[in-house]
């Protein structure tokens, strides 16, 4: 596994930046989530008049988000393992430089390695509307998992909504392909009642059947395990439930919907029996045939935004 950890200089810069930002607090997973497993990771807590949020510096990973008068919109597994280098279960993991099983070498770790590594906080400031804007950076030299130099930037804007803008920069001398996703785990109160609107009458690829092409009849529901990729979705999608959530985007053609179902969840250590009832994943990104091709020295950007609508 390709793992990076913060050095002394970046840690000092982080502490200085947090010290001058009244809306930020630096803490640890041990303090924030004392009953959770793992050796512990540094976390940022955002608190403003508009919202509150918790972010892990590993993966620039948004773990919690709610507006001041709204409901929590993200699900964090009660069995999330806060051990350095271990993928965190819940919130919004960033899966890159590939999504899912690596299509050229299935022995490589699922969902890439950006989510398992430290991202540096480059800047943090308040906007005129009271939102917080945070800028994170990830640098990766060519390695045995991905033989190209690249960097990724994440601009996270937190206020009446949560907006994540991802930029991937090819800093290598050769072209490369990459796939990625913002792997949202959204909290639901009753899995049996929730529906995903905006995907009816579309074809999708079924991950349970080697990407077999199927057709979606009606809205997406979760009476059984679901793992699907819907390509070429330009419109917003809505999670109709309690709460209801609207997800909008730019340049994120793929929608992934996932819930493992009861049997599989019971066998996944960092989910656990029964916990599949409290979340669904509705993800936006560019996966499988919609992966990005980045010529040497070029960049691409996309954003995804979600907010409560009831």
> Would you please indicate which residues are annotated as catalytic (active-site) residues?
183, 283
Helix (H, G, I), strand (E, B) or coil at 138: strand
The Cα–Cα gap between 282 and 256 comes to: 6
How far is CA 101 from each of CA 27, 107, 126, 139, rounded to the nearest angstrom?
Answer: 33, 8, 38, 22
How far is CA 209 from each of CA 98, 206, 212, 263, 302, rounded to the nearest angstrom?
Answer: 20, 5, 5, 18, 29
Q: Cβ neighbours of residue 171 under 8 Å, at least 6 residues apart?
A: 149, 150, 151, 297
Return the closest-CA partner of residue 85 out of 120, 65, 109.
109
The Cα–Cα gap between 182 and 91 comes to: 10
How far is CA 14 from each of CA 26, 130, 249, rounded to the nearest angstrom?
Answer: 9, 22, 29
Sequence-distant contacts of 270-275: CB under 8 A, at least 24 apart: 270/77, 270/79, 270/80, 270/81, 270/89, 271/77, 271/79, 271/89, 272/77, 272/78, 272/79, 275/77, 275/78, 275/79
Return the closest-CA partner of residue 180 out of 89, 301, 87, 80.
301
């Amino acid at each position: 596994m390709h793992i990076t950890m913060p050095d002394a200089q970046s840690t000092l810069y982080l502490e200085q930046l947090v010290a001058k930002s009244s809306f930020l607090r630096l803490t640890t997973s041990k303090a924030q989530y004392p009953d959770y497993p793992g050796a512990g990771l540094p976390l940022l807590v955002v608190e403003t008049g508009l919202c509150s949020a918790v972010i892990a510096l590993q993966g620039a990973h948004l773990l919690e988000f709610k507006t001041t008068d709204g409901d929590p919109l993200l699900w964090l597994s009660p069995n999330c393992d806060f051990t350095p280098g271990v993928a965190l279960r819940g919130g919004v993991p960033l899966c890159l430089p590939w999504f899912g099983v690596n299509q050229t070498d299935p022995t490589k770790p699922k969902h890439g390695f950006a989510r398992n590594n430290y991202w540096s906080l480059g800047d943090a400031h308040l906007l005129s509307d009271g939102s917080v804007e945070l800028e994170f950076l990830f640098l990766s030299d060519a390695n045995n998992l991905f033989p190209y130099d690249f960097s990724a930037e994440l601009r996270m804007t937190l206020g009446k909504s949560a907006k994540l803008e991802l930029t991937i920069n090819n800093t290598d001398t050769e072209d490369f392909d990459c796939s990625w996703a913002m792997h949202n785990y959204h909290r639901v109160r009753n899995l049996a009642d929730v529906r995903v609107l905006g995907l009816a009458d579309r074809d999708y690829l079924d991950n349970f059947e080697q990407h077999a092409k199927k057709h979606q009849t009606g809205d997406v529901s979760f009476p059984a395990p679901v793992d699907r990729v819907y390509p070429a979705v330009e419109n917003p999608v809505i999670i109709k439930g309690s709460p209801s959530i609207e997800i909008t985007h730019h340049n994120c053609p793929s929608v992934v919907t996932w819930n493992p179902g009861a049997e599989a969840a019971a066998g996944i250590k960092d989910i656990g029996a029964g916990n599949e009832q409290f979340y669904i994943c509705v993800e936006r990104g560019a996966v499988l045939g919609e992966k990005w091709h980045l010529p040497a020295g070029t960049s691409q950007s996309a954003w995804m935004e979600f907010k409560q609508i009831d």
